[in-house]
Amino acid sequence: MSNDLQRQVVIIGGGIIGCTTAYYLCSHPALASSKTKVTLIEASVRGAAQGASGKAGGLVAKWAYPKELVNVSFPEHVRLAQEHNGAQRWGWRFVGCGSWEGKGELAQDTGTGVGQGGDWKSLEKTHGLDEDWGAKKRKEAGLPDDLDWVRADLTEGYSPMAPAGATAQVHPYLFTTSMLELAQERGCEFVQGKATSIDIDDSAGKVTGVTYTQDGTEHTLAATHVVLAAGVWSPRILPVLPITSTRAHSVTIHPKPGVTISPYVLFTEVLFPSATRGPQRVSPEIYARPHNEVYACGPGDDSAVPETVDEVEVDQAACESIREHVASISTELREGMVDKRQACFLPVVSTGGGPIVGEASKLAKGLVIATGHTCWVRISRNDPSRVDPHMLRRVSATRPGRRGQYPN
């Protein structure tokens, strides 16, 4: 370590945890100086936020759990948006949020019904109805007046989940990459490479660096502190971590020109009339985003985690099912264009609760673990210091005085 540096912090993982950690470290008055160097290393050749952090719904809610975290994180989101123009930079805004239940209607075809060579035009068959007919139907169904992009005639129940001002959203990819950009403006160094081990001086019981590969060549970053925030890939570096995974699929849809989607997040229960399997209950989540984009996701599965985030496979059939499910309750989404079909892996603490967050000094001084965040960031008693340090030593192919190697 350079004599001029007191701290060399290496963050493993360019997701929302890693990037926000880099931002706060580089912004902290006690650390933002020439005496501290912060480096973030990310395995994806595409850059930050390529996993779950870039493919989530982006919900920010006062009613989330646990309250110990929500009471800090929600106002902090508000502050960040105000300080860095989050509305323009990462789509920060308040939204309505509700629980919707009803029936789906199976599309007869996947087209719009518009003939070649022409643009969509109404046949004006409903113009003889009372002008307030649509509003009356929504009122009868219990829908808010401005929630006009779900079918009122298919709605069996709607319940708001929170009062106004209690639910907001960000575009998770834009938020995460913005946090990294702000960290880089404050001195953070970004390194593209696949971390393979956390280097430990066994005699001193402290971290000394991170070893990673780049283009087939091994490199080492010196470190006084290491933050492991690699999501589902964290156990590849530290196998003693009790982390499993859930793969989740999602799609993004852009309605046709001229159609505006009001800002609501819906948690749905749809009786979907499957043509092949009969009626079935499905529960897609729908997030209306700025710039008239709609994000929708479905259930998870237990597919195996690939070697890197760049190798995550997308099941096209799963994405098509999500599209069909949301299209069955919304004409606007049925007629829209699917922009992205994507998948990601959510880290889950296999012993229950989660995430695992904090200093793991019993494993090695200077080691901080921040992983196991699922769709909600949760606090539990899964303190990393409770991971058996003897397990760490048993899986280490050590070279005394240099580093503990953690096999994949």
Predicted local confidence at residue 35, as pLDDT: 87
Q: Are the CB atoms for 39 and 9 separated by under 8 Å?
A: yes
Residue 33, pLDDT score: 65
Superfamily of domain covering 7-58+171-241+352-394: FAD/NAD(P)-binding domain (3.50.50.60)
- What pLDDT, on a 0 to 100 scale, did the predictor assign at position 84? 98
- pLDDT at residue 248, rounded to an integer: 95
Q: What is the largest CA-CA distance in the chain?
A: 85
What whole-number distance in Å separates Cα of residue 371 and Cα of residue 245?
11
Peptide bond into 347 cis (omega under 30): no
Domain boundaries, the chain: 7-58+171-241+352-394, 96-114+123-164+245-348
| Residue 177: predicted pLDDT | 98
Give CA–CA dist 399/20, Å, rounded. Answer: 33
**pTM over the 0.75 mark:** yes
Output the CA angle 58-186-44, nearest 5 degrees: 50
Tens of pLDDT, residues 212-256: 999 999 999 999 999 999 999 999 999 999 999 999 999 999 999
Each residue's pLDDT tens digit in the chain (408 positions)?
Answer: 455 678 999 999 999 999 999 999 999 988 766 789 999 999 999 999 999 999 999 999 999 876 777 888 999 999 999 999 999 999 999 999 999 999 999 875 443 333 344 444 444 434 444 445 456 667 788 899 999 999 999 999 999 999 999 999 999 999 999 999 999 999 999 999 999 999 999 999 999 999 999 999 999 999 999 999 999 999 999 999 999 999 999 999 999 999 999 999 999 999 999 777 778 999 999 999 999 999 999 999 999 999 999 999 999 999 999 999 999 999 999 999 999 999 999 999 998 777 888 999 999 999 999 998 876 543 233 444 444 433 333 222 222 223 332 222
- Per-residue pLDDT at 65: 73
Q: How far is CA 362 from CA 14, 187, 201, in A?
A: 25, 30, 13
Sheet with 225-228, edge to edge strand ranges: 189-192, 36-42, 7-12, 225-228, 367-371, 356-359
Task: Indicate the SS3 state at residue 36.
Answer: strand
Predicted local confidence at residue 218, as pLDDT: 98
The kind and range of the H/E element at 226 are strand 225-228
CB atoms near residue 239 (< 10 Å): 15
**What DSSP string runs through 55-88?**
SS--EEETTSS-HHHHHHHHHHHHHHHHHHTHHH
Task: Write down the architecture of domain 96-114+123-164+245-348 according to CATH.
Answer: 2-Layer Sandwich (3.30)
Residue 376 pLDDT: 53
| Predicted confidence (pLDDT) per residue in 65-93, tens digit | 767 778 889 999 999 999 999 999 999 99
